[in-house]
Amino acid sequence: MYDNIICAIDGSELGTKALRYALGLAAKTGGKITAITVTDTSVIGSSGPELMMVDTGSILADLDKAKAEAARNILAEADQVAKAAGGAIVGIHITNSTAAEGILHAAKESGADLIVMGSHGRRGLGRLLLGSQAAEVLSHASIPVLIVK
Query: What are residue 7's DSSP bridge partners?
Result: 35, 116
d(CA 100, CA 93) in angstroms, rounded, equals: 13
Instruction: Pick the closest to residue 30 from 56, 2, 54, 9 (CA basis).
Output: 2
Residue 100 pLDDT:
94
Query: Hey, where are the domains in the chain?
Result: 4-148
| Tens digits of residue pLDDT in 24-66 | 999 999 999 999 999 988 776 666 666 666 677 788 888 899 9
Q: What percent of the chain has pLDDT over 70?
A: 86
Q: Out of 3.40.50.620, 3.40.710.10, 3.40.50.1110, 3.20.20.140, which CATH number does the structure's domain 4-148 have?
A: 3.40.50.620
d(CA 31, CA 70) in angstroms, rounded, equals: 27
- Whether 23 and 85 have beta carbons less than 8 Å apart is answered as yes
Instruction: Pick the closest to residue 73 from 135, 145, 2, 11 (CA basis).
Output: 11
Residue 114 pLDDT:
98
CB atoms within 10 A of CB 70: 15
87, pLDDT greater than 70: yes
pLDDT band at 5; cut points 50, 70, 90: very high
d(CA 31, CA 3) in angstroms, rounded, equals: 4
d(CA 94, CA 85) in angstroms, rounded, equals: 25
pTM score: 0.86
d(CA 48, CA 50) in angstroms, rounded, equals: 6
Greater model confidence, 114 or 149? 114
